[in-house]
Amino acid sequence: MAESSVDVLIVGAGPVGLFGAYYAGARGLSTAVLDSLPEPGGQITAMYPEKAIFDVAGFPAIRGRELVSNLVAQAAPFSPGYLLGQQAIGLERGDDFVVTTTAGDRVRAKAIIVTGGIGTFTPRPLPTGEELLGHGVVHFVPKPDEYSGLDVVIVGGGFAGLYLARDLARVPVRVTLIDRTNHHLFQPMLYQVATAALSAPDISYPIRSVVRRQGNTDVLLGEVVSVGLASREVVLSDGHRLGYDYLVLAPGARHSYFSHPEWELLAPGLKNLEDAGEVRRRILLAFERAEREADPVARQRCLTFVVVGGGPTGVEVAGAIAELARFALRRDFRRIDSRDATILLLEGGPRLLSSYPARLSDRAKQQLRRLGVDVRTETFVTDVEPGYVQAAGWRIPTDTVIWAAGNQASPLLRTLGVSLDSQGRVLVQPDCTIPGHPEVFVLGDAAAYAHQPGYAFLPWICPAAIQMGHHAARVIKADLAAKPRQPFRYHNKGQLAVIGRARAVADLPWIKTSGLSAWLLWVFVHIFFLIGFRNRVIVLFEWAWSYLTFQRGARVITGQWQAEQR
């Protein structure tokens, strides 16, 4: 009678058991694999030696023997011990588990994974979600066509997280998607909510509704505040802990005030619906205050709007405010002419839209000036204070400042303890994982991807995030099929920025244009990427109405709720 000791005993040498040997071995755990059949592979090899299996849910077609051969080869570097031609007939529980086999061998293990073919060995299953390793528990793993036993935790319901979750709909994993809000937000159109062209529900959609047909997906409303890489768990703000086998971090980004966080109260940015609601409130209140102001100097301060940052968001916001003042509001007031409003767009660099070709940047500037926007380049903002903005030695009286000048990744990423770039993004590996942890992906605005020829880092745009989400799903599927991982490759789909009604610039791989043609491209591309049929119909109607009537239907001022005093 032989005795041995391992960290993990895997009962069943089929594909799930062999993958478990690889997975545990890759994390520094010693393993042994027990099976009643004389060779690895279990019934898959016996029943489907040449027949294609896993030919569903995006898995590559693969024969039984080929699958087993790949899994054995992947596990080989970690030297699992094989106890073949034996069955488990006894279990003793103490500090460790001790399993007795039909051959009289005794195997001591800290944890046991049961995958089938186990004879009289019948440990009781534990509640769903209980940790497997490090706690000495027995755990049943379902058959591979039902559930692989792996938990995929996705932090963030933006483009990367949501598209990944949808791609995993028919993959045998359990998905948990965590977000601070209950909705997915189409952020490229957020400025239209801020400038009263659309309402908040037009560009958002409940996450639960998106994935409600996915039986393997749960949604949690909560905020993840830290990640434990060693314990493989995330911690939520309410203290709840959630374990994972794969972790996908796509928490997005916030605006950066370049070491002046105190400016945020005076100059809100545009990253979520709350930001958009506050910007809209300030813009509309500025016109209301001007209507009541008798002092012409104070009135002009109310009617001066400063947009900081000449990237796509700044250009779009400045153009939208100009159209609001020039067209939508011009008949609404009795004491002021909304067309007297001054809209200043301040950019610290030499030109607007620095990521676009110079010709399109110049076109954008021309179109903004035709709308009455005062564009100032090489003008750095040095201070923001109540009633004023300091920029390039110029003191600008204004009550309304909108910030569109920079981005900063989520502070959650700092809890990983890995290398970050100057904007707080994680310097990821070619497959979008973090160094030393192939089970942790960082995607979208949280990832600093420096492995694409022609790019220092990939841009902060939704096509890059969507493609990263698709890539992470492909990697997880490849792992389950025991296939090698492929590096992420970004395919440039181009970029679009709208300046106003029938005014836009388009920098696409197959065309570079401006004006009406670029605007029509912008309209149809954004309608296509909106989630939800209702959203597409409503937004298309709102845009058509605005185009024909020059009106904006979401000019509602809201503020913080307060109880009525009686």
pLDDT mean over 163-173: 91
Higher pLDDT: 53 or 274? It is 274
By C-alpha distance, which of 259, 263, 260 is closest to 385? 263
pLDDT of 129 strictly over 50: no
CA separation for the pair 347, 524 (Å, rounded)? 29
CATH no., domain 261-405+495-549: 3.50.50.100
pLDDT reported for residue 455: 86
pLDDT of 139 strictly over 70: no
Higher pLDDT: 55 or 8? It is 8
Lowest mean pLDDT among 128-142, 187-201, 384-398: 128-142
- Tokens matching residue 77: 């570097």
Higher pLDDT: 67 or 380? It is 380
Q: Which fold has domain 151-180+222-255+408-480?
A: FAD/NAD(P)-binding domain (3.50.50)
pLDDT of 49 strictly over 70: no
Higher pLDDT: 85 or 555? It is 85
338-371 burial by CB neighbour count: b if 16+ within 10 A, else e? Answer: beebbbbbbbbeebbbeebeeebbbbbbebbeeb
Higher pLDDT: 531 or 257? It is 257
pLDDT tens-digit map of 107-125: 888 878 777 543 333 333 3
Lowest mean pLDDT among 87-96, 269-278, 354-363, 377-386: 87-96
pLDDT of 532 strictly over 80: no
- For the chain, the domains span 3-140, 151-180+222-255+408-480, 261-405+495-549
pLDDT of 398 strictly over 60: yes
In sequence order, the 6+-apart residues with CB closer than 8 A to the CB of 227 are: 233, 234, 235, 247, 249, 412, 415, 416, 440
In the residue annotation, 385 being an active-site residue is answered as: no
Q: Which fold has domain 3-140?
A: FAD/NAD(P)-binding domain (3.50.50)
Given pLDDT bands bounded at 50, 70 and 90, which one contains residue 565? low
pLDDT of 366 strictly over 50: yes
- Paired with 82 in beta bridges are 33
Phi, psi of 354 (to 5 degrees): -65, -20
pLDDT reported for residue 543: 60
Given pLDDT bands bounded at 50, 70 and 90, which one contains residue 519? confident
Higher pLDDT: 261 or 15? It is 261
Report residue 23 CA to chain centroid gap.
Answer: 26
pLDDT of 238 strictly over 90: yes
CA separation for the pair 315, 169 (Å, rounded)? 38
pLDDT mean over 260-266: 94
By C-alpha distance, which of 450, 410, 404 is closest to 158? 410
pLDDT reported for residue 144: 36
Instruction: Report the chain's mean pLDDT, rounded to a whole number.
Output: 83
pTM of the model: 0.71
pLDDT mean over 452-459: 87
pLDDT reported for residue 121: 35
pLDDT of 304 strictly over 80: yes
pLDDT reported for residue 391: 94
What are the CA-CA distances from residue 166 to residues 128, 206, 220, 487 (Å)? 22, 14, 16, 21
3-140 and 151-180+222-255+408-480 share one fold = yes
The DSSP 8-state label assigned to residue 85 in this structure reads S
pLDDT reported for residue 1: 61
pLDDT reported for residue 531: 60
pLDDT of 468 strictly over 60: yes
Annotated catalytic residue within 278, 316, 347, 439: 316
Given pLDDT bands bounded at 50, 70 and 90, which one contains residue 55? very low
Taking a C-beta distance cutoff of 8 angstroms, is the pair 412, 236 a contact? no
pLDDT mean over 7-17: 81
pLDDT reported for residue 301: 96
pLDDT reported for residue 280: 93
pLDDT of 437 strictly over 90: yes
